[in-house]
Chains A and B, each alone.
Chain A
């Protein structure tokens, strides 16, 4: 790795360019120019990723990676590393102006990146000052670091002469020596001098006067250079220097005259500190030092014009959607209210573009005495991103109070913005009860919008819909949730906000959890597929879908696959955005452990879920289920006494719920009190106890069955088991059987006493540990799909019923069964019953939902 560390004007970038142009193409370059005052780690990392991709030629026609509001710098750095590793041949990362990178996050990840470069990758960095945070000490010690410093870049006298000769300047030896001495070989000084010297009538005198002056080199020479330019060019330079970058339109706008393009091109050709930024030479940049001095000069010569220039620039940037530049120039023009309005209007867009830090930096730039009420909205958004919930609430209250006082054309937008943030805050706190009432107005269709409204409002509305739908899903207003999330996803697709589209679809997957499993799984997979397309497969935004999908698999007994999805959820939730998803993940993981008989791990997970539940304000929909299984796990993990004590501490209301009664029954069974268990579940069985869902009923039946078994009443046990199977048949639930450990109970059930032989066989398979995993799935699907009749027969194949018995079950003739079986064998390409069963399992033809 090479680092070029030298002050402004030393010639770092020129060196870089000269080196890059000389390369000859086996060397590929990934170039990143760090933007001025780059606070946002994401912006930098995305630029890096983009540069690497362009250099390696991968993804050549793909769109650039979009930004996300929640950013994981580590994951992005990993991505860059892996793409570098895959690139064949040498590749060099070039990072120019590293000192502009102020984000500690970015610097940390960059350090990691640089110290872990694959052998064929190199890096060159330029910076104006040393960056201690970039911990390169190890590399230095290992001799892997080359440093080029100011002293190395200084022109010795010989090179000074060469430079002058190359510019066609005739100067005496003495003159050259004088010039060299005065500038001390400083590159910028020499180049500025060369510009003034070229075509100068008396170069010797120029050098003599320059040498005799005690003014600083830069100021003297820039003055000289400027004075020698024709008025037109001086004017252009002065008026455009306040821009970070300039094009023809902006230059014409600021000078009030056409013809800027020609001047800019000429300036670049004359090597006068103007550099084009693109191959087509439409955008230009002045050397920082040069423009800094020009800006001072501008303020000195035309102080009253400067705010007007900034305003004009702000207008242009605003029209061209470059919001941050527009705001910066509005602030520079001293128009603080205008800047506040722009910031408020673009809060959501900037956050979605991953520019939250930049936004906060812009807020901090407001002078202390000036606090426009609209800034409260921006501050609230920033607080939420940072997790400062109380501050967010306070700022939001201020913002809300201001809405009434705002001009009518802005009121609607501000109201929607406040609503969206309120919803987000409510979800983070788990306090959803009151908020949904306050945001009813979001339901009404939007009419009579100006063009500006639509442009500014779309991002806003999409975010609002997503937050609204999510809030509704968590408080079980599921129909409303589905409606709003679908609207949100469609809008997001229309306005090209893939992040919001994924967010809406992920929440939609979660909201589908009371729909049939097939629907839920389809929606979750759709959301996950879209997320993966954008590389967001393990981002927090997709977590609701991941966890919900895992949940459906746990319920139907596909434990191995459920585990994989839960691992992905855990990864996605490393950078978290709220307690509710985390709660759900712990809850689902706990269930998985419990189903596999790992009661200690289950206890840990349920405890974690319970802790989160108690942090949320207001009661949680799943509260009793969480607590119930927590107590059950405690009992099964060998701590029935503790569980009993905890149960006693619950209020009467909670203790009378079905889920808690079941937990009491589990405790009784662990304490060898089957009669007590039966007593505990009586109200659940007779339907008087409130339950969250029918899974609680299934569980109760099984617990009763286990109790009867212990009391020696096998008939009652069998009846209970049969009732449980009947309830579970529709969705082919495996969960309650697994979590209650009912293997022996089911095995004791004679096959002729059950109408659910197929389901029974499936469940026993799962409980015996043969995994229904995706790994076993072979790659070729069946030749054709099985007909409904064939599927019905197929379900009985895993049982040990004979063909006549199957015919009896299905009320068809034996011939029909034989025909179906032949067809099944043909379609599945098997030759016997057990192979057919195995193949059917692999293709998941026996899973929930498909045989309904």
Chain B
């Protein structure tokens, strides 16, 4: 683990972060989740899904962390926000 968390912590968003979901095998407990403080986590069966806006360097920081902690990466996906989709939280009618 690097000493410094990825750039997420500095309260500044770089121009073009995208929304990512990252799926990891197993349920991440409190300890492991604390390695990804800027991502929301959700249990999905036997997997944990982390979600959050990440620019490129933040994304690779997260992936490096996953590798360092020996976690099993299942999927990384950039989410396209669509109107009316549950992911986007947009409640307007299509």
Contacts and interface: CB of A to CB of B under 8 A. Distances in A.
Contacts of A128: 67
Given A214-B26, A368-B10, A219 B32 contact: yes
Chain B binding site: helix, strand, loop or mixed by DSSP? loop
Nearest to B48: A216
A375 B25 CA distance: 43
Interface in A218-258: 218-220, 222-223
Interface stretch (B15-23, B68-76, B85-93): B68-76
Contacts of B12: 368-369
Nearest to A329: B3
Contacts of A332: 3-4
A219 B67 CA distance: 14
Contact of B10 (A218, A222, A299, A367): A367
A289 B70 contact: yes
A293 B69 CA distance: 7
Contact of B1 (A9, A223, A292, A368): A292
A296 B31 contact: yes
Nearest to B46: A214
A216 B28 CA distance: 6
Contact of A214 (B3, B10, B27, B30): B27
B27 A215 contact: yes
Nearest to A217: B26
A288 B64 CA distance: 13
Contact of B70 (A37, A218, A291, A295): A218
Interface string A92-129: 00000000000000000000000000000000000011
A219 B25 CA distance: 12
Nearest to A36: B2
Interface residues of B, number: 24
Given A288-B68, A289-B69, A299-B34, A216 B25 contact: yes
Interface string A338-377: 0000000000000000000000000001011100000000
A296 B3 contact: no
Nearest to A369: B10
Contacts of A328: 3
Contacts of B40: none
A257 B24 CA distance: 40
B79 interface: no
B38 to A, nearest CB: 15
A331 interface: yes
A288 B12 CA distance: 30
A151 to B, nearest CB: 14
Interface in A200-217: 213-217
Nearest to B26: A216
B70 A331 contact: no
Nearest to A366: B4
B29 interface: yes
Contact of A8 (B28, B30, B35, B70): B70
Contacts of B30: 300
Contacts of B26: 214-217, 219
B32 to A, nearest CB: 5
A37 B12 CA distance: 26
A392 interface: no
A409 B12 CA distance: 36
A244 B10 CA distance: 25
A297 interface: yes
A214 B31 CA distance: 15
A300 B31 CA distance: 7
Given A216-B26, A332-B3, A367-B10, A297 B31 contact: yes
A293 B31 contact: yes
Contacts of B28: 215-216, 219
B2 to A, nearest CB: 8
Given A214-B46, A215-B29, A292-B69, A300 B34 contact: yes
A188 interface: yes
A533 to B, nearest CB: 39
A217 B31 CA distance: 13
A9 B27 CA distance: 19
A32 to B, nearest CB: 21
Contacts of B70: 7-9, 186, 188, 218, 289
B10 A296 contact: no
Contacts of A300: 30-31, 34
A296 B32 contact: yes
Nearest to B70: A8
A218 B25 CA distance: 12
Contacts of B27: 213-216
Given A296-B35, A368-B10, A369-B10, A7 B67 contact: yes
Interface in A290-342: 291-293, 295-297, 299-300, 328, 331-332
Nearest to B3: A332
Contacts of A9: 70
Nearest to A297: B31
B43 to A, nearest CB: 9
Contacts of A220: 29
A368 B2 CA distance: 18
Contacts of A288: 68
B1 A216 contact: no
A132 to B, nearest CB: 15
Contact of B29 (A186, A219, A292, A367): A219
B34 A218 contact: no
Nearest to B30: A300
A129 B67 contact: yes
A492 B46 CA distance: 63
A508 B1 CA distance: 48
A215 B27 CA distance: 4
A296 B1 contact: yes
13 contacts: A7-B67, A8-B68, A8-B69, A215-B28, A218-B71, A219-B29, A219-B31, A288-B68, A292-B1, A299-B34, A331-B4, A368-B12, A369-B10
Enumerate the 9 nearest inter-chain pairs by beta-carbon distance, A residue then B residue, closest first. A216-B26, A292-B1, A8-B70, A332-B3, A214-B27, A9-B70, A296-B31, A219-B29, A219-B32
Interface of A: 7-9, 37, 128-129, 186, 188, 213-220, 222-223, 288-289, 291-293, 295-297, 299-300, 328, 331-332, 365, 367-369
Given A216-B26, A222-B31, A295-B1, 9 more contacts: A8-B69, A214-B26, A215-B27, A216-B71, A219-B32, A223-B31, A296-B35, A299-B34, A328-B3
